Amino acid sequence: MCGIVGYTGAKLAAPVLLEGLRRLEYRGYDSAGICVGRDGALTIVKRTGKIKDLRGAVPDLPEGSYGIGHTRWATHGGVSDANAHPHADCTGKITIVHNGIIENYASLKEKLLGEDHVFRSETDSEVIAHLVESVYDGDLERAVKEALALLKGTYGIVVMHSEVPGKIVGARNGSPLVLGIGEGEMFLASDVTAMMAYTKQVVYVEDGEVVTVDPGGFRTSDLKDNSITKNVEQIGWELEEIEKNGFASFMEKEISEQPESILRAMRGRLDAEQATGHLGGLNLSSKELLEIERVKIAAAGTSYHAGMVGAYLLEAMARIPAYAELASEVRYRNPIVEPQTLHFVVSQSGETADTLFAMRELKRKGATVLGICNVVGSTIARETDGGVYIHSGPEIAVASTKAFTSQITVFYVFALLMARMRNMSFEEGSDLVRDLDAVPRLVAEILEDKATIQALARKYSWAKDFLFMGRGINYPVALEGALKLKEISYIHAEGYSAAEIKHGPIALINERTPSLFLIPDDRLRDKIISNMKEVKARSGKVIAVCVRGDDEVAGIADDVILVPKVHELVYPFLMVVPLQLFAYYCALDLGRDVDQPRNLAKSVTVE
């Protein structure tokens, strides 16, 4: 979603801002712009399209050593040069960039129009520049605070004024903002990746806080001007982790990293001696863990699918009733928080608005909420009562891949821990430790067979519609396979429980609608084979992801993707990887922008 950068120091600001924006491209955007200050004047350059278009359109970048920049993902107002940020006030002396949504912008705009302010865009954001203008009396920080007090909604903003060279004011309410501390220079950004090339010393700005920077330092305070002391933290990622490192795309890189990322998610967390799991950050005693009678999981998109697998694992291993729900529904359902119920929110980015608001609603009602996040220091990671980092390293591609396998790794370890405290024997626990331990190697084996999946993608990428079928623990994997295919290839795809197709979706089957069946060697295999035969009987083409040596399935399906035979609870790790690759290669075959698919944003920070 939208990205923010700000810089003040001794360097030329424009190249720093553009480099920061380039690093934020993965978040998804439709236009970009910068504003640079020099000699008491501000110059704005903004365009629809990509950063390279902006750069190409303005070969002579504005000079000056402080500035702000933005990548916009349209919410209020279409995709146009005028609606791109930065936005200026009437005088052109004040400029702002904004992430989030100003809910009361219409009434504020009406009032400002009545005071003869001239608006140049259709955005909600522009009102901020005019509000600051209307209260500015020489003190930019105070004017920003007064303006913010009038806003309803969410924001991460940075603001500059030509009369205070080198000074930038940032503020946050519901949209991330991070301060980066360099040597005689300061950075502001919505995401640490924008500043990692320059500094690893950061301060996470919290909701309700305002930060004012100049090259020599920073001050944090609240809207009532109480000073706030902040901790300086160190970014844990390396710059090379946010580079493609020879891969054609971030998505291909991230799919390929899974043997290592799954290993990182389980490292130090599997205890072979006690046949159990250890998760340090739960902040729950053994007694509290034993008292848990129910688990509820809230998440969005791929993280929701991981939550569904997690719920299955908890019920299967630990016999604890568990279910996953869409975070966007939890919040508005007035959720019932019951005693002895543990809540999880799952989010790669830790910034997804739906998940964040669901978490706050649950906490408001007294729930204990744990997080499963990837981004260290993210809002969800900081606001939950405890939780587990998946340690996947940065996930840059919009389509989430390695985060999914790491999230289910963490659920597996948690389910094992809960199971061993309750019903599960040492022998069974040992088997499950061994089975998970083998996963990185087995995923690496599947990745070695990429060429087969690429050939299949070429054979089927003509399809306009695709169905994905799975059952039991692999039903969420079918949903995930369909999500991957639709988001990056734009082929319409739906996931179903294979048993459900006879209740409606089978009407879609014909020779032009292929299906992909997940057929592990488990209790439901024979039933899924029957469902596959029903599809074949209606001229439907079938790809089956099945176990090596399953000649019966190979004899029925048109094509097969083979995976090793494993314990039934381990199949999601192995089944999802071919689906990620299938989606990836279909998208490549169709010439899609794999890392930045149309209309999508990596981190969905608005509702």
For 404: left if phi > 0, alpha if psi spans -120 to 50, otherwise beta; the answer is: alpha
HSE, CB side, 13 Å, CA atoms: give it for residue 403. 29
- Pairwise CA distance, residues 36 & 12, whole Å: 9
Q: Which is nearer to ligand M6R, 320 or 482 (CB)?
A: 482
Residue 363 burial by Cβ neighbours in a 10 Å radius (0-12, 13-18, 19+) = middle
- Pairwise CA distance, residues 254 & 236, whole Å: 18
- 546 a catalytic residue: no
Q: Which three-class secondary structure state does DSSP give residue 419?
A: helix
Cβ contact 26:186 at 8 Å: no
- Pairwise CA distance, residues 349 & 299, whole Å: 11
Least separation, in Å, of the C-beta of 515 and ligand M6R? 21
Q: Which is nearer to ligand M6R, 168 or 359 (CB)?
A: 359
- Pairwise CA distance, residues 448 & 549, whole Å: 18
Q: Can you tell me which residue has the tokens 């399935």?
A: 553
Least separation, in Å, of the C-beta of 363 and ligand M6R? 17
Q: Which is nearer to ligand M6R, 62 or 176 (CB)?
A: 176
**Residues of this chain that bind ligand M6R (CB under 6 A):** 300-303, 347-349, 352, 355, 398-400, 483, 487, 600, 603-604
- Pairwise CA distance, residues 151 & 605, whole Å: 18
Q: Which residues contact 100 (CB under 8 A, 6 or more apart)?
A: 2, 153, 154, 155, 156, 173, 174, 175, 605, 606
Total Cβ atoms within 10 A of residue 500: 14
- Of the listed 46, 145, 402, 602, which one is catalytic? 602
Cβ contact 566:435 at 8 Å: yes
- Pairwise CA distance, residues 365 & 368, whole Å: 9
Least separation, in Å, of the C-beta of 355 and ligand M6R? 5
Q: Which is nearer to ligand M6R, 157 or 398 (CB)?
A: 398
Q: Are strands 515-519 and 465-470 parallel, antiparallel or unpaired?
A: parallel
Q: Which residues contact 214 (CB under 8 A, 6 or more apart)?
A: 8, 166, 167, 168, 186
Q: Which is nearer to ligand M6R, 270 or 482 (CB)?
A: 482
Q: Which is nearer to ligand M6R, 164 or 358 (CB)?
A: 358
- 450 a catalytic residue: no
Q: What angle do CA 561, 440, 604 make, to 5 degrees?
A: 85
Least separation, in Å, of the C-beta of 477 and ligand M6R? 14
Written as one letter, the residue type at 362 is: L
Helix (H) or strand (E) holding 367: none
Least separation, in Å, of the C-beta of 347 and ligand M6R? 3
Least separation, in Å, of the C-beta of 514 and ligand M6R? 21
Structure tokens at 375: 């981004």
- Pairwise CA distance, residues 403 & 347, whole Å: 9
Least separation, in Å, of the C-beta of 507 and ligand M6R? 27
DSSP letter at 570 equals: G
Cβ contact 356:328 at 8 Å: no
Q: Which is nearer to ligand M6R, 111 or 391 (CB)?
A: 391
- Of the listed 2, 373, 546, 586, which one is catalytic? 2
Cβ contact 81:48 at 8 Å: yes
Cβ contact 190:197 at 8 Å: no
Q: Which is nearer to ligand M6R, 390 or 545 (CB)?
A: 390
Q: Which is nearer to ligand M6R, 131 or 483 (CB)?
A: 483
Least separation, in Å, of the C-beta of 311 and ligand M6R? 16
Q: In what order do the strands lie in the sheet with 322-326?
A: 322-326, 294-299, 341-347, 368-373, 386-389
Least separation, in Å, of the C-beta of 135 and ligand M6R? 36
Least separation, in Å, of the C-beta of 400 and ligand M6R? 4
Total Cβ atoms within 10 A of residue 546: 28
Q: Which is nearer to ligand M6R, 48 or 347 (CB)?
A: 347
Residues catalogued as catalytic: 2, 602
